[in-house]
Structure 1
Amino acid sequence: MAIALDHLAVSAETLDGGVAHVETALGVALAPGGRHPDMGTHNRLLSLGPDLYLEVIAVDPAAAPPKRRRWFGLDGFAGPPRMTNWILRSDALDDDLAAAPPGSGDPLDLARGDLRWRMAVPCDGLLPFDGASPALLQWHCADHPARRLPDSGCRLKALVIEHPEAAELATAWPALMTLPDVLLRQGPTLRLTASIETPHGRRSLS
């Protein structure tokens, strides 16, 4: 069983507000994304390499209300845009989900355009450890979505996840400690910070 960092999620009250937050912080333009009809959300994307990307995600005001709680706690999201979640990809979702902390979600078959994937989504939309615990997905499409994006010249150098129970998360899911460039650190509250090399030098995004 192997897990790897797949993408980072920046949540926002509005998609335009989230895009402005990321573009100001990194100095690069985001690419188009799409809509998630099963979740009532939409996104914009930024390549961080051939197998890694960043998404800005928000409730889609034009979408019909979903039949379940939205992922990433977006039903209750408020405040300025910020990085709220990190997502791992798996080659064996059911097996890796069994090793994840309780409450990591139930697998759902999802789609956006011609992209297909299976993802574990908690029934209340909230991942364990206040969202410090990552989400899990398994792609079912020929190309990773990052390979469809224009190369932004941005590359992730480090991802720091701070939480009061960081040590407990590491104990509950030891495989997280094997991920390169990912650091779980004790902090007063949940905070995700990405160090990203951009065409304008090293930038920080949280």
Structure 2
Amino acid sequence: MMEIDHLAVTCADLDEGAAWVEARLGVPTEPGGRHDRFGTWNRLVSLGPGCYLEVIAPEPGTRPAGPRWFGLEEAGPPRLGNWIVRVADMAAALAAAPAAAGRPLDLSRGPFAWTVAVPPDGSLPWGGAFPTLIRWREGGHPADRLTDRGLRLIALEVGHPDAARLKGLLADLRDSRLILHEADRPMLRARLSTAHGEVVL
């Protein structure tokens, strides 16, 4: 089975990205941490049990040995740039995924340990339309340690020129919030409920 784990706002500058998210959602982001292997750092906000939004950017002064993940080698202004799906069995999930999904890497940060699939060049699978796959191993889930400020994911819209194949690849992701459709190019759009009404990222 697959479940929506979290969404990622990618950006070139973490402070700028956090301010962009906070202005739209009306709540503060919380400190996340650093990912030494990829030279990135993040801030987080809860989207309810088992789900959160992260703002992720290259960390100034870092020089990772290889490409940064999440397509952050070409980071620009803040935008909804990636979605991450939780799987129970990474080997089985990758066997059924397109080759572009990447290879499994074991990572850790503070109390958390996880396995994540990352393409060798750090790109986003299918231009971001196919999700990054993750399996949490230790330390629980980050959403459990975040303040629940009432934000919730209403819908995640994913567009791609080959939406029919994408739908087949994601057959194990049974979530009524996920909307897949054909588009001229890969695109993501999230609708979130907030204390001030619905917001689109």
- TM-score interval (norm. to shorter): over 0.9
Contact persistence 1:158–1:195 (CA under 8 A): yes
Cα displacement (A) at 1:132: 0.7
2:129 to 112, 129, 132: 132
Distance in 1 separating the partners of 2:68 and 2:138: 23
Amino acid at match of 2:17: G
1:182 to 153, 171, 178: 178
Residues 1:152 and 1:25: Cα distance change in structure 2 (over 3 Å): same
Q: Which residue of 1 aligns with 2:24?
A: 25
Percent of counterpart pairs with the same letter?
A: 48
Cα displacement (A) at 1:28: 1.3
Cα displacement (A) at 1:171: 3.2
Cα displacement (A) at 1:77: 2.1
Cα displacement (A) at 1:68: 1.7
Which consecutive unaligned segments of at least 5 residues does structure 1 have? none
Residues 1:107 and 1:70: Cα distance change in structure 2 (over 3 Å): same
1:156 aligns with 2:161: no
SS for the counterpart of 1:20 is: helix
1:6 aligns with 2:5: yes
Distance in 2 separating the partners of 1:99 and 1:148: 32
Amino acid at match of 2:60: P
1:116 to 110, 113, 116: 113
Cα displacement (A) at 1:185: 1.4
Question: Which shifted more, 33-42 or 126-135?
Answer: 126-135
Contact persistence 2:158–2:181 (CA under 8 A): yes
1:203 aligns with 2:196: no
Contact persistence 1:129–1:165 (CA under 8 A): no
Residues 1:127 and 1:40: Cα distance change in structure 2 (over 3 Å): same
Contact persistence 2:125–2:132 (CA under 8 A): no
RMSD: 1.3
TM normalised by structure 1 equals 0.92
Question: Which shifted more, 188-197 or 116-125?
Answer: 188-197
Q: How does 1:88-127 map to 2 (within 5 A)?
A: 88-127=85-124
Distance in 2 separating the partners of 1:138 and 1:3: 10
Cα displacement (A) at 1:91: 1.1
1:87 to 84, 88, 97: 84
Amino acid at match of 1:193: R
Contact persistence 2:100–2:119 (CA under 8 A): yes
Q: How does 1:166-181 map to 2 (within 5 A)?
A: 166-176=163-173, 178-181=174-177
Contact persistence 1:156–1:194 (CA under 8 A): yes
Residues 1:5 and 1:172: Cα distance change in structure 2 (over 3 Å): closer
Amino acid at match of 2:22: E
2:69 to 71, 79, 89: 71
Distance in 1 separating the partners of 2:8 and 2:139: 22
Q: Which residue of 2 aligns with 1:35?
A: 34
